[in-house]
Structure 1
Amino acid sequence: MAMTIHVDVVSAEKSIFSGLAEFVAAPGVMGELGIYPRHAPLITRIKSGAIRLKLPDQVEEEVFFVSGGMLEIQPGVVTVLADVAMRGHDIDEAKALEAKAAAEEAMRNKSSEIDYARAQAELAEAVAQIATIEKLRKKSH
């Protein structure tokens, strides 16, 4: 049996996942993190993107979308505390594409730096959701 690590993915509203994984990939602010059991302790911020879990006895990876938050790694536990988290299959592609288009339009018609920064953040989140959907499509083919 492969070594595993306990993983909790929690959003501001609810627990999204709690269980064992053989490997975790997470979008850290400084780049993607690859986490195996007995990883050195670490706390870092996460950015919008996909959390991928390789579960024991399962060929397909579980994919979750997260936006903002913190990642804590202990040798036997990984905790993802995300501002927003959802299962990859629950992402509404049409809504993400609409949000991307609206954010791009807002960036073109900026009326202040605050509006521009908000539009940039919304654009980054929409692009990350679309990228998560694309990862799901690639793994199912």
Structure 2
Amino acid sequence: MAESTFMLEVVTPERILYRDEIQFMVAPGIEGELGIMKNHAPLVAALNIGVLRYQTSTGAAKRMAISGGFMEVIDNGARVLAETAEHGDEIDVLRAKAAKERAEKRLEVKSEEINHARAKMSLQRAIARIRATEKPI
């Protein structure tokens, strides 16, 4: 293990999506973004729908869309338990943009038949998926 790295594990109900050493990460916490580096104090936090950003042990910047969950940081390791998660480079951008447009159209309709809370969550997930495909600055 390199001197300045720690283990990141991203787990969904279906699989372990990612497990490797990283240099740092930024997670979408409920109260705002959470930056984590090696030797971070123990932490348990709820996560929002958003983009998990991290830098691999080789220095490559990566992104992953997650749709909520929890994160635990302890003993130089971070474990993200996400409802869903996708690597940014595996996301179908056209499909994500179509989902965003569908959610926006549902939110425009003023009808009691439309579940607006569900439509808002669909919109947030679509936006996170699109943002996860963007190239890091």
Q: TM-score, normalised by structure 1?
A: 0.89
| Counterparts of 1:114 and 1:102, CA distance in 2 | 12
Is there any run of 5+ residues in structure 2 with no aligned partner, and where?
Answer: none
Aligned to 1:92: 92
Identity within the alignment, %: 35
Is there any run of 5+ residues in structure 1 with no aligned partner, and where?
Answer: none
Q: Structure 1 residues 103, 74: closer, same or farther in 2, change over 3 A?
A: same
Larger proportion of helix: 1
Q: CA RMSD in A?
A: 1.6
Check the 8 A contact 1:37/1:75 in 2, yes or no: no
Aligned to 2:44: 43
Larger proportion of strand: 2
| Structure 1 residue matching 2:48: 3-state secondary structure | coil
Count of aligned pairs: 136
1:45-124 map, 5 Å: 45-56=46-57, 58-112=58-112, 115-124=115-124
Check the 8 A contact 2:106/2:114 in 1, yes or no: no
Question: How far off is 1:89 after superposition?
Answer: 0.5
1:47-67 residue CA offsets vs partner (Å, 9 max, x unmatched): 1222122122x2321221111
Q: TM-score, normalised by structure 2?
A: 0.91
